[in-house]
Amino acid sequence: MKTNIYQKMHSASCQAKGVAKGKKVQGMHFNPLLHDDVQAVAMEALLDNNLYPEWTYENEIKDNFVFIICNMKIYDIENPSSFMEFKGCSAMGQLDKFGTGNAMSYSKKYAFLNALNLKTGLDSDNGYKAEPFKSTKESQAKASGGAVETQQEAGDNSISIEDMKNSFASAQHIPRLRYLKKVYEPQLNYLLKNSLRDYRQVTDIFETREQQLNSHK
């Protein structure tokens, strides 16, 4: 009996490995979920089941950010007219040379996650297979003073700020949005004291998403 695309997607979802999060950035409490790791796990599961994805993007330029939507189709290689579609995975990026690419990667990452229901431990403190963050008094002192400037020079802090912004932008309902704000409260307070520009960018996106969700009640 020939296997249909729904059976293949079910098999791919069951076979897919969990995605291990990356290393924590000093001064941030979470482990980042990296695009390349998600794509590697997803593609292995899809190809093993004779499935192949393609994706397109929609973009909209706002006053201080670019808004990207990833729409993904997953085709049955043995029957190319058969496919499943996953629409609306969105992300925001800054209006610089990296912003559009970052948002495209982020939105595609969540399209893969949603399509295969990949295990990541997103609601856990440490995440799937993530190593606990061992902080010493010295590292805690560094995290509470001067960390923003140091990490910006190294390019690490921008990733963490982007994670906060995209988490807010991707929240599907008000309780989730408020939960995320509570989770990120230490980082928001730190940015308020040390990097007002970044703080305003993050809170602007929070407020915009809050208005959007309230308008759909």
Q: In the predicted model, is pLDDT for residue 104 greater than 90?
A: yes
pLDDT > 50? residue 136 = no
For residues 29-48, average pLDDT:
87
Task: For residue 63, name the pLDDT band (cuts at 50, 70, 90).
Answer: confident
pLDDT at 8 over 50: yes
**Rounded CA gap, 96 and 201, in Å?**
14
Q: Answer positive or negative: Cα dihedral of 16, 58, 216, 86.
A: negative
pLDDT category, 121, cuts 50, 70, 90?
A: low
Query: How many domains in the chain?
Result: 1
Range of the domain at 170: 5-215
Residue pLDDT, tens place only, 147-160? 333 233 333 333 36
pLDDT value of position 28? 54
> What pLDDT, on a 0 to 100 scale, did the predictor assign at position 151?
37
pLDDT (mean) for 25-33 = 62
DSSP readout, 173-196?
Answer: SHHHHHHHHHHTHHHHHHHHHH-H
- pTM here? 0.59
Cβ within 8 Å of residue 112, ≥6 positions away: 38, 39, 42, 53, 72, 118
